[in-house]
Amino acid sequence: MPGRIVVVGLGPGAPGLLTAETVAAIEGTAVRFVRTARHPTAGSVPEGRSFDWVYEQAARLDDVYPSIAAALVEAAEEHGQVLYAVPGSPLVGERTVELLQRDSRVEVVILPAMSFLDLAWARLGVDPMAAGVRLIDGHRFATEAAGQRGPLLVAQCDSKVVLSDIKLAIEDGGSVTVLQRLGLPDEDIFTVAWDELDRSVTPDHLTSLWIPELASPVAAELVRFDELVHTLRERCPWDREQTHASLTRHLLEETYEVLEAIDGLGAAFEGADHLEEELGDLLFQVFFHATLAAEEGLFDLADVARGIRLKLIHRHPHVFGDVEARTAGQVMRNWEEIKQVEKGRSSLMEGIPGHLPSLLYAHKVQRKASSVGFDWDSVAGAWPKIAEETAELHEAMAISEGVEEELGDLLFAVVNVARHLDIDPEAALRSATVKFRDRFMGVERLAAGRGVDLRALDLAGLDALWEEVKGDCPA
């Protein structure tokens, strides 16, 4: 015979709200347990053994409920029948009861009870069915409330940390009604502003929140993704070992894979799925670094998002202020001036990362200089510099002196022309290299199909194969 567990609810708090059926079950069962003694009606279960010790010893809240369920199953198998009393109603927010119902080793009998919800609807004057209310666990607000606009009743808001997490999950939830100790002599119901939630409220285990409407929904997928990254960091051996420094290689690789995916976009946006995937990989790196920083007490993902949002608002006074900027050039000049003041820099060239790829570095330096007017008016002024630098390179080669410097000047001039043509020199060179690679692979295939060893051909023979392939792959 399987063991039997009789689950009863202690109601929202007042002993007078216990049902007669629950009182009879308590009196008729010799071995009794209560999930927590921190409930006003826990004293109605004589000799009820509390599981508060599990809460105190567990490293994570998620470990508490399986431990309690396992202990109850063991007790039921030993004694035949046990009573398990939980706050409120057994089927409202009771994770342990869910676990017990799934366990085939025991028979679970549930006696209905009044929930804090019944008192909440009465105090708020709300019909939950008509209003379409969603019940949320305060400990999982960011995930469970993701995408919701309300109305929401948030239960188990039992600490300042929970209230703070709720507040930070969204920018502004409007005003919120706090419900505390419903049905007890010290019952308290009051309204606070969203940003005062974790300052004006002293929470306890009988605290809930009523949110009639959220000003903006939580970004569901981003919240779920953030939770996933934290889970990986906690449970995956590889993720646990990572540091900011160890991730730099992966950050760089993912960035270049995004660039490659962008280069691979077709005219009708073929390859968009690939770009979406690579952007996700890059986003993972951002979330991972933010998670590491949060563990170090430096900043978290919310700080990162808030910081860039405020910075972009400040650097776009033509959008969010009264500054006029009708062209992209004016926008860039304003941007550089604001940035220089923000950073307290004496030169526009300060702050350019020295480890950038050379073409990108040259492009950025030229763009900085251009923001204050140090530039040709058009590509017509930049173009002759290529011929000039080419001639100087030939002179240097003739005397075998300064060749590297002159070659650098020529490349710098080419970057300048690319910038005036609104072409990214890094992307242009990459595209040309990919084109050469593909054509060379075509030459290899053509030679192999004819049984020809490329190394046995002279330059004229190679050029002939190249022209054949070039005709088939003109772009």
Topology agreement, domain 3-114 and domain 119-218: no
Cα–Cα distance for residue pair 107/100, rounded to 1 Å: 9
Residue 60: the pLDDT is 76
CATH architecture of 119-218: 2-Layer Sandwich (3.30)
The confidence score (pLDDT) of residue 471 equals 66
Angle between helices 95-102 and 61-79 (to 10 degrees): 50
The CATH architecture that domain 221-314 belongs to is Orthogonal Bundle (1.10)
How big is the chain by its Cα radius of gyration, in Å?
34
pLDDT tens profile 154-179: 998 988 989 988 888 876 777 899 99
What DSSP string runs through 289-321?
Answer: HHHHHHHTTS--HHHHHHHHHHHHHHT-HHHHS
- The ranges of the chain with pLDDT < 50 are none
The sign of the CA dihedral 376, 382, 384, 390 is positive
Beta-carbon count within 10 A of 20 CB: 7
Q: Please answer whether residues 216 and 167 qualify as being in contact, where contact means their C-beta atoms are separated by less than 8 angstroms.
A: no
Per-residue pLDDT, 395: 93
- Give CATH superfamily name and number for 3-114: Tetrapyrrole methylase, N-terminal domain (3.40.1010.10)
Sign of the torsion angle spanned by Cα atoms 67, 73, 78, 79: positive
Q: Tell me how far apart the alpha carbons of residues 72 and 54 are, in angstroms, rounded to a whole number.
A: 12
The CA distance from 417 to 423, in Å, is 9
- Reduced to 3 states (helix: H, G, I; strand: E, B; else coil), residue 49 is strand
Q: Are 166 and 209 in contact (CB under 8 A)?
A: yes
Task: Enter the DSSP assignment of 185.
Answer: T
d(CA 215, CA 175): 10
pTM for the full predicted model = 0.50
Domain boundaries, the chain: 3-114, 119-218, 221-314, 426-472
Pairing mode, if any, of strands 188-193 and 134-137? unpaired
Only one residue has tokens 């972009």, namely 312
User: In this predicted structure, what is the pLDDT of residue 429?
Assistant: 87
Phi, psi of 34 (to 5 degrees): -125, 140
